[in-house]
Amino acid sequence: MKVVRSLGWMAVAVLAWGTCAAQSAAWTVRPEWVRAHEEFLASDAMQGRGSATHDEEVTATYVASEFMGYGLKTAPGMTGYIQSAEVVSPVLDGHGSLSAGGLSLTEGAEFQVLVSTGTSVSGPLLKVKAADAKNLTGARGAVVVITDVPQGVDSMGAAQGLRRSGAAMIVIEESVGSQQTLTMFGGKTRVPIRLKDDPAPRGGVTLVTLNPDVYKKFVAERDGTTVSLTLQEVPQAKPRETFNAIGYLPGSDPKAGTILLTAHLDHLGIGRPVNGDAIFNGANDDAAGTTAVLELARALASGPQLKRSVLFVCYGSEEAGELGSTYFGEHPPVPLKELVANLEFEMIGNQDPKMPKGVLLLTGWERSNLGPTLKAHGALLGPDPYPEQHFFERSDNYALALKGVVAHTAAGWGTVPTYHQPNDDLAHLDLPFMTAAIQSLVAPLRWLAGSDFKPEWNAGGQPKR
């Protein structure tokens, strides 16, 4: 105090600046902030943040407003914080009908459409034993019903073997696997969805499940019997769009490149109830990743200006086929060649039991030097213990990796039990783990943004189409 009085207001200012700088250098991610994001993003009020829906737009608006509050700028060439893209996808009314010979069946009560091309289907019945499904020929245009499924084998496996057979429709008996698949789809038929500028998909197959009693009657029909599935599309009042929220932290050196930190903000929306709950909240998948991007944006924007610029992006429609990240890769606000690295955050809300305590897995760890380098600077990251699951290829990082960007995904529990279930909610998150994981990345990312180090693919590590 005596020193301050003798030096006057200038000393006060200097000391205050030094204190703020020290606080910024040791920025603390506060658990109440982490929880606050989750309380909103994963609330029932958000209706599960379905891909390319109004709820997704509201989510993107929330993220964008947070970016603005942290002092982030609009990305180069953009006039706002949201990048939107029109998507094309039929919406079915869920009241289809299925006929075969003397059978007339009602969707929901007697059969379920798991996967659809979005249009009605008709063709001759062809019964195929499960053992013959993988080597089936002559099925083009047929409605294939799988029979003689061995005890203990799920019929979904045989259906997978027929997907490239040319069949117009595959019919199986309802099973545990089919019910789990339908739940993972949010209780709704999976139909193709694409960016408007992308070419329409060719071919495709419809997958139908029959309840056991109806299945027995269906199998009793003769081969060659005409089978017809009639579906109705719901007219759309306006074009559907998906929404990316984008914030930009300009660096001091325009030639130093840009770091890209990303997550996806959508989930499955409302589906068929499970234990009375129909809202797929997506607290872990991927409100947790969105929260990580938000808190890293807050932390990195709070300190002195970084050498490298940082782009913070939360993509829409990942669950519908990574449409938001695909559109971003085709319309990036900065040239892709200027991206130093991309770190995606996916489902970081729970600790994986196969990982060391407190450590996130990084997909494709061995493919580049990004993960080991960030770990050396304090990031709680380690190798993915599930290489057989191909998680590296299953998130938004992959589209950019195919374009040459060193891009990986940091994740928590790769096979968390709440995955694509309505109980992926706030109550099932490990908030202390999540907070500590985000905290561990602040200093390493600040170092990366202030250094000349440029991550590189290891030999043979970059994926190819």
Question: Which pLDDT band, with edges at 50, 70 and 90, does 272 fall under?
Answer: confident
Helices then strands, each counted (H, E), the chain: 12, 19
DSSP 70-135: TTPBPPTT-SSSEEEEEEE---B-S--EEEETTEEEEBTTTEEEEE--SS-EEEEEEEEEGGGGGG
The correct CATH number of 97-230 out of 3.80.30.20, 3.40.718.10, 3.40.640.10, 3.50.30.30 is: 3.50.30.30
CA–CA distances in Å: residue 454 to residues 228, 308, 373, 376: 57, 11, 10, 15
pLDDT at 12: 36
d(CA 115, CA 172): 12
Instruction: Note the CATH number of domain 25-88+238-450.
Output: 3.40.630.10
- SS3 state at 353: coil
What does the pLDDT average to over 45-60?
97
What does the pLDDT average to over 128-138?
84
Question: Which pLDDT band, with edges at 50, 70 and 90, does 311 fall under?
Answer: very high
Residue 100 in this model has a pLDDT that exceeds 50: yes
What does the pLDDT average to over 54-78?
98
Nearest to 171 by CA among 110, 94, 231, 118: 110
Instruction: Find where tokens 């499904």 sit.
Output: 133
Nearest to 115 by CA among 203, 214, 227, 225: 203
Residue 234 in this model has a pLDDT that exceeds 70: yes
pLDDT at 73: 98
pLDDT at 203: 65
Residue 17 in this model has a pLDDT that exceeds 60: no
Residue 14 in this model has a pLDDT that exceeds 70: no
Residue 138 in this model has a pLDDT that exceeds 90: no
Residue 201 in this model has a pLDDT that exceeds 70: no
d(CA 267, CA 59): 11
Residue 128 in this model has a pLDDT that exceeds 80: yes
d(CA 287, CA 418): 14
pLDDT at 308: 98
DSSP 165: S
Residue 96 in this model has a pLDDT that exceeds 50: yes
Residue 265 in this model has a pLDDT that exceeds 80: yes
Instruction: Find where tokens 């938001």 sit.
Output: 324
Rounded CA Rg of the chain: 25
417-457 pLDDT tens trace = 999 999 999 999 999 999 999 999 999 999 999 999 999 99
Contacts of 427 (CB under 8 A, 6+ apart): none
Residue 390 in this model has a pLDDT that exceeds 80: yes
The CA-CA-CA angle for residues 452, 453, 456, to 5°, reads: 140
Q: Left, alpha or beta for 284 (phi > 0: left; psi -120 to 50: alpha)?
A: alpha
Q: Where are the domains of the chain?
A: 25-88+238-450, 97-230
User: For 162-288, where are the alpha helices, taking DSSP H only?
Assistant: 176-184, 212-219
The CA-CA-CA angle for residues 398, 461, 249, to 5°, reads: 50
Structure token digits, residue 358: 């407190």
Q: At what angle do helices 54-69 and 289-302 cross, to 10 degrees?
A: 20
Instruction: Find where tokens 């409100």 sit.
Output: 287
Terminal Cα-to-Cα distance of the chain (whole angstroms): 65
The CA-CA-CA angle for residues 184, 94, 89, to 5°, reads: 75
d(CA 101, CA 145): 14
Q: Which helix (H) or strand (E) holds 333?
A: none
d(CA 302, CA 298): 6
332-376 pLDDT tens trace = 999 999 999 999 999 999 999 999 999 999 999 999 999 999 999
